[in-house]
């Protein structure tokens, strides 16, 4: 899971500083300047988001931030905080009309895909239609592509309905896109179940033809990496929790990797009572420990344990952090580059938030610090709020407060 950075500012803007409100008339820089990696950040800018609308998640691409809400896809300029455009969703209903609604704590950021030299922003959503006469109620799932520059809808397609279950009230998700193929996960339920989401169907969609390449019932994709769709193969009594994945009292779950091209199994590890997958990238994911996306096997140099958090610097290093250690791992050789332990009297063990192009952004009880990704040595301190996303243009915290890069 990516985490972002808030950072160092020469004007003293820190964690307690009030964020500036970005007005709709604010002008973005004509040419946003990037710093690779960023080590200084300007004053916090609070984006003009509608806090009364459910936000599913957000993602960075260049000098823009894209937010997927229950009502629209929004694009913001991260240098000024200005909203560049908003593409309304246009769906009639969010839930299926069941009493009490539903609590859904999933984080579902939009996904980017290249198209003929342009970039589309992809997301999935469900739309409920109440039946009339002899027609039953129906919930359809749609996949939509929006041009990242203009905000115009490139296309929208309705997904085939699951054959053995019905679409649940929990939001569907695009879990990734590679090689002109998007992977969509739809949470489902059966008429006999007492829970709203006890199974899932995963689809692979050809983005050029907008046709479904394959559809797997009972497979819940969680991430896409290195041509492998990674997720949970579900049993009869599976249940889903937004914050910690799939569970079953029968230990009939399997951590599974399927080929993006045809859904053929690449590897499978069964007999599990739970499966909770987190994306890392660079050929890695986590499921209790750092694992190789191509084989599903734990990386010998990796860490495991509670509160495991791993990030890829989008270049050559994976950094994993748990309660006991922080470790830098070479993404190609899988060798350990450095380790900082909690019992090391010569250094304080930091808590890692993110990494970007050779820099690791972390914090201790005395402040925040940037480490060298390949050596683990301190590079410089920085000040700011808790990080969530970053690139060379800006850092964004979990509340979508932006800190433009200045150096």
Whole-number pLDDT of residue 387: 82
Distance in angstroms (rounded) separating the CA atoms of residues 252 and 232: 10
Distance in angstroms (rounded) separating the CA atoms of residues 78 and 85: 13
Q: CB 176: neighbour CB atoms within 10 A? A: 24
pLDDT by 10-residue block (mean), the chain, 407 residues = 35 38 40 89 92 94 97 96 95 56 82 94 91 82 97 97 88 97 93 62 98 98 98 93 89 98 98 96 96 96 83 98 96 97 94 96 93 97 82 94 92
Is 278 within 8 Å of 293 (Cβ atoms)?
Answer: no
What is the rounded radius of gyration, in angstroms, for the C-alpha atoms of the chain? 21
Place of tokens 């791993």: 310
Q: What domains lie within the chain, and their CATH numbers?
A: 20-404 (2.130.10)
pLDDT tens sequence across 163-208: 888 898 889 999 999 999 999 999 998 755 444 448 999 999 999 9
Distance in angstroms (rounded) separating the CA atoms of residues 314 and 304: 21
Distance in angstroms (rounded) separating the CA atoms of residues 239 and 249: 9
| Chain centroid, CA 62 distance in Å | 16
Helix ranges restricted to H, 86-160 = none
Q: CB 99: neighbour CB atoms within 10 A? A: 4
Three-class SS of 242-266: CCCEEECCCCCEEEEEEECCCCCEE
φ, ψ dihedrals at 256, nearest 5°:
-135, 145
Q: CB 238: neighbour CB atoms within 10 A? A: 25
User: For residue 93, which of 163, 140, 52 has the smallest C-alpha distance?
Assistant: 140
Is 390 within 8 Å of 361 (Cβ atoms)?
Answer: yes
Distance in angstroms (rounded) separating the CA atoms of residues 359 and 37: 7
| Chain centroid, CA 42 distance in Å | 25
Is 258 within 8 Å of 213 (Cβ atoms)?
Answer: no
Whole-number pLDDT of residue 135: 82
Whole-number pLDDT of residue 93: 61
Distance in angstroms (rounded) separating the CA atoms of residues 171 and 188: 10
pLDDT tens sequence across 58-113: 999 999 999 999 999 999 999 999 999 999 998 766 655 454 455 688 999 999 99
Whole-number pLDDT of residue 236: 87
State whether the Cα torsion 329-335-340-342 is positive or negative.
positive
b or e along 314-327 (b: 16 or more beta carbons within 10 Å of the residue's beta carbon)? bbbbbbbbbeebbb
Helix/strand/coil for 10: coil
Distance in angstroms (rounded) separating the CA atoms of residues 26 and 77: 10
State whether the Cα torsion 230-235-240-243 is positive or negative.
negative
Taking the whole predicted model, whether its pTM rises above 0.85 is answered as: yes
């Amino acid at each position: 899971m990516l985490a972002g950075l808030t950072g160092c500012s020469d004007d003293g803007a820190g964690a307690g500083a009030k964020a500036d409100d970005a007005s709709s008339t604010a002008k973005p820089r004509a040419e946003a300047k990037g710093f690779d990696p960023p080590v200084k950040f300007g004053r916090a800018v609070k984006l003009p988001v509608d806090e009364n609308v459910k936000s599913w998640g957000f993602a960075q691409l260049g000098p823009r931030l894209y937010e997927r809400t229950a009502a629209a896809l929004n694009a913001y300029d991260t240098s000024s905080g200005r909203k560049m455009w908003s593409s309304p969703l246009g769906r009639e209903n969010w839930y299926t009309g069941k009493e009490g609604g539903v609590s859904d704590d999933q984080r579902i950021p939009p996904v980017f895909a290249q198209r003929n030299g342009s970039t589309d922003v992809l997301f999935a959503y469900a739309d409920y239609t109440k039946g009339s006469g002899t027609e039953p109620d129906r919930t359809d799932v749609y996949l939509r592509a929006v041009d990242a520059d203009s905000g115009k809808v490139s296309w929208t397609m309705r997904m085939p309905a699951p054959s053995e279950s019905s679409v649940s009230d929990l939001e569907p998700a695009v879990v990734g896109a590679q090689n002109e193929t998007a992977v969509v996960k739809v949470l489902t339920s059966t008429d006999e179940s007492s829970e709203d989401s006890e199974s899932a169907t995963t689809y692979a969609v050809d983005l050029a033809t907008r046709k479904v390449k394959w559809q797997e019932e009972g497979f819940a994709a969680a991430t896409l990496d290195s041509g492998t769709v990674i997720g949970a193969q579900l049993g009869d009594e599976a249940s889903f929790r937004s914050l910690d994945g799939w569970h079953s009292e029968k230990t009939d779950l399997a951590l599974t990797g399927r080929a993006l091209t045809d859904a053929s199994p690449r590897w499978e590890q069964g007999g599990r009572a739970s499966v909770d997958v987190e994306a890392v990238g660079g050929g890695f994911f986590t499921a209790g420990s750092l694992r190789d996306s191509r084989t599903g096997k734990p990386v010998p140099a990796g860490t495991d344990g509670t509160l495991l958090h791993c990030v890829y610097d989008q270049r050559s290093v994976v950094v994993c952090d748990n309660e006991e250690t922080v470790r830098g791992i070479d993404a190609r050789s899988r060798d350990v580059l450095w380790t900082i332990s909690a019992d090391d009297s010569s250094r304080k063990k930091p808590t890692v938030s993110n990494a970007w192009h050779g820099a690791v952004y972390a914090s201790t009880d005395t402040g925040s610090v940037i480490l060298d990704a390949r050596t683990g040595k301190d590079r410089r301190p920085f000040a700011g709020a808790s990080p969530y996303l970053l690139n060379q243009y800006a850092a964004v915290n979990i509340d979508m407060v932006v800190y433009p890069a200045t150096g």
